[in-house]
Amino acid sequence: MKRALIAICLLSVPGCFETCGSLTKRLNQAHIAVAGMRQSAKEYYAEKCKKIAKACPTRLTGEPAEKCAELMACWKQMDEVFDGTTSAQLSIYTALSLKQVGKDEEAESLFVKITAAILDLKTKLTKYGVLSGGS
């Protein structure tokens, strides 16, 4: 919960998030924001999918979990969110790699994409209720 709040606080100051400090420091901020969202998603889906699994008719029939459409939808949404966090983390990693081989300009331009990806992820998490406790 604390990490989620930190992520939200970081994301609520995009001006500073994009321009304050060295590239490494800003990439670290981006990393912290993504890690906070990932942690929130983990806690949210562990609870949400558990509740859904308890209501699956397959519990009584002994059929495989794949027959429980609601649980599959929960897994799919979780995968989508985790794919988003991993994609943002890979971009941060790539920016660091570019910086290390002296391609600072390319790394800097990638940071703009990273910021956009993080804001997209935040929108998605809000839509799914991970950050606001909605659906």
Partner 1 sequence: METLIKIGAIILKTIFEEIRAQTGQDISDAELMLRLVKEMDSTKKDAKDIKDATRAIAEGRDG
Binding site for partner 1 (CB under 8 A): 2, 5-6, 9-10, 24-25, 27-29, 31-32, 34-35, 38, 42, 45-46, 49-50, 52-54, 56, 58-60, 62-65, 68, 71, 74-75, 78-79, 82, 85-86, 89-90, 92-93, 96-97, 99-100
Angle at the Cα of 112 from the Cα atoms of 109 and 113, rounded to 5 degrees: 100
CB of 126 to partner 1, least distance (A): 19
Instruction: Please state, in angstroms and rounded to a whole number, the distance separating the CA atoms of residues 79 and 130.
Output: 13
CB of 59 to partner 1, least distance (A): 4
CB of 9 to partner 1, least distance (A): 6
How many CA atoms, within 13 angstroms, populate the side-chain half-sphere of residue 36? 20
Rg (CA), the chain: 18
In terms of DSSP H, where are the helices of the chain? 2-11, 14-19, 23-54, 58-61, 69-100, 104-127
Instruction: Please state, in angstroms and rounded to a whole number, the distance separating the CA atoms of residues 32 and 10.
Output: 9
CB of 93 to partner 1, least distance (A): 5
32 vs 119 by CB, closer to partner 1: 32
Instruction: Please state, in angstroms and rounded to a whole number, the distance separating the CA atoms of residues 106 and 77.
Output: 32
20 vs 112 by CB, closer to partner 1: 20
